[in-house]
Structure 1
Amino acid sequence: MSKHSSVAGASHPVKEAGFFTKIKVACLKSSSSDGGKGGKGKSNSSSNKVSHGFHLVEGQSGHDMEDYHVAEYRKKRNHTLGLFAIFDGHLGDRVPTYLKDNLFNNILEEPNFWKDPEAAIRNAYRSTDKFILDNSMQLGPGGSTAVTAIVIDGKDLWVANIGDSRAVVCERGSANQITVDHEPHAERTRIEKQGGFVTTLPGDVPRVNGQLAVARAFGDQSLKAHLSSEPDVRHVPIDSTIDFVILASDGLWKVMKNEEAVNLVKSMKDPQAAAKRLTTEALARKSKDDISCIVIRFG
């Protein structure tokens, strides 16, 4: 992504999530003619059906793909969980890779997850960021934004984010953004109180200390004194008014308004086709960044 002034890719071994039962029903991955990759799947619950599709396209900004995603179903305590996320990395891929393999495990391992999902999500975001910072020698100097969605039994949607990856719900046929874009100018007061500053140069977006284009992120050891890893968390009960939700990195949202995205795909029943339609349109609108999109459809 282009949130930082320089980029370096690397790989890092991560721990396996062995003790969860993972369910990937009808989950298919494929390459597309546009050079992207996609896949789809659905839960095996007999009621409150959930299906999803995703499509990922590497950007044209001259660096390796730094977007990572999660789209899977798990059984835990006789509940069916849909776990979906997009991690948009910068300064390398070690941090988003770590998040892809560990953040949901950390959330679900929180002892109060079933009683207080919001508190569990907040605690896990904080503890995960602390681990990344404490292990920056191995995980590198980079960072990542995140948008995560947990669907519980097809009835409850819990969405959290830090940075500018976004979730938009189609509710009664209209777009409803349920995440907050954590932009530096919106958090200037907090950043300055913590000893940082926000630059706004001609032809560029506002940046923390002239470097990072988001005010909240995982990692970023050198800027952490001025950044936050506190997520915004939102609960959405899933009923007949909720048709689908779009999760996407800023490669989509830089060139497309929320209502445009929803209107483009709300008549499409295949969530993978919808995700591909959105990324294809973003490319047609000259988006240069990596573009990652997940569409989750209910019912």
Structure 2
Amino acid sequence: MTGREILNKVMVKAGLGPSSSETGKGKAKMSGIKVKHGYHLVKGKSSHPMEDYLVAQFKKVDDSELGLFAIFDGHLGHDVPDYLQSHLFNNILKEPDFLTDTEGAIRKAYKLTDAKILEKAVELGRGGSTAVTAILIDGSKLVVANVGDSRAVISKNGVAKQLSVDHEPSMERPLIEKKGGFVSNLPGDVPRVDGQLAVARAFGDRSLKAHLSSDPHVAVETIDSDSDFFILASDGLWKVMSNQEAVDCIKDVKEPQAAAKRLTEEAVARKSKDDISCIVVKFVA
């Protein structure tokens, strides 16, 4: 086992990192509500190393209890998502107005982190990464942000609600063209920025950055008695499952770790060939 492989294994056991097939869980009590999470990652059929990373941890900041969850799905290498899992939440929490203006703090931190990645392009390479982050504050407020097509879905009384936005090039064609870029389905049949990247927003991608955005979509959701659980997953899951199918697949699975594993297994059974990473966070009164 190489030094990097040992480090990756330690990182995953701590609740963050990449793997060919890893699973884990955790729990906390936040303002009287039990919060349990589980995650599972599966390497796809591609020849390159695993490019998905995740974060799943609880942290106390001042008088607030936080749940920090994220999926980072890299492309053209794993160095950018690796950097994100190490730095993005730290940058968010460093913002002085994080607790009073969480949305603003997230936007600033996304911009700062992307700038740092671009500064380190020689070290981190030409690749990039999508991201979906979720911050649970005191068990009652959920703030989700994303760039790209990794997705966040919450179940409320068994009904799926998407909290993120899939940043598809075809949807953002006017903005891309205004910046001097173009959207093309060639090569292949998927719309791509400048014929290269299948998402319109991402971290990194220095060669395409003039035509890409790293501005996140941000949504705030109240966690109440109707809230069952939420799912964060890379597009390896969402390419083969709808939001409601994902919710229905695990609604009767008690443990979130088993739920995350079931979702990844179902995606593989549906012939998903991409890397798949999934986090399930359940609320127990």
1:88 aligned partner = 73
Superimposed CA distance per residue, residues 227-262 of structure 1 (whole angstroms, 9 cap, x where no aligned partner)? 000000011110011110000000000001111000
1:108 aligned partner = 93
The whole-number CA distance in structure 1 between the counterparts of 2:14 and 2:243 is 27
Q: Which portions of structure 1, spanning 4 or more consecutive aligned residues, are displaced by more than 3 angstroms?
A: 26-29
Structure 1 residues 27 and 92, CA, compared in 2 at 3 Å: closer, same or farther? closer
- Counterpart among 178, 191, 208 of residue 206 in structure 1: 191
If the length of structure 2 is used for normalisation, what is the TM-score?
0.92
Structure 1 residue 175, shift from structure 2 partner: 0.6
1:234 aligned partner = 219
Structure 1 residue 78, shift from structure 2 partner: 2.3
2:10 aligned partner = none
Name the amino acid aligned to 1:264. C
Matches within 5 A, 1:13-162: 36-45=21-30, 47-162=32-147
The whole-number CA distance in structure 2 between the counterparts of 1:116 and 1:278 is 34
The whole-number CA distance in structure 1 between the counterparts of 2:153 and 2:189 is 26
The whole-number CA distance in structure 2 between the counterparts of 1:202 and 1:227 is 19
| Identity fraction in percent | 65
- Which residues of structure 1 form unaligned runs of 5+? 1-10, 12-25
Structure 1 residues 191 and 27, CA, compared in 2 at 3 Å: closer, same or farther? closer
Q: Cα RMSD between the aligned structures?
A: 1.7
Name the amino acid aligned to 1:228. S
Structure 1 residue 103, shift from structure 2 partner: 0.2
The whole-number CA distance in structure 2 between the counterparts of 1:44 and 1:154 is 8
Instruction: Give the aligned length.
Output: 271
The whole-number CA distance in structure 1 between the counterparts of 2:171 and 2:58 is 35
1:277 aligned partner = 262
Q: Secondary structure at the match of 2:267?
A: helix
Name the amino acid aligned to 1:81. L
Structure 1 residue 62, shift from structure 2 partner: 1.5
Structure 1 residue 44, shift from structure 2 partner: 4.0
The whole-number CA distance in structure 1 between the counterparts of 2:60 and 2:76 is 35
The whole-number CA distance in structure 2 between the counterparts of 1:276 and 1:114 is 33
The whole-number CA distance in structure 2 between the counterparts of 1:180 and 1:146 is 11
Q: Secondary structure at the match of 2:33?
A: coil
If the length of structure 1 is used for normalisation, what is the TM-score?
0.88
Superimposed CA distance per residue, residues 94-145 of structure 1 (whole angstroms, 9 cap, x where no aligned partner)? 1100000010000000011011000000000001001111121111111000
- Which residues of structure 2 form unaligned runs of 5+? 5-12
The whole-number CA distance in structure 2 between the counterparts of 1:27 and 1:46 is 24
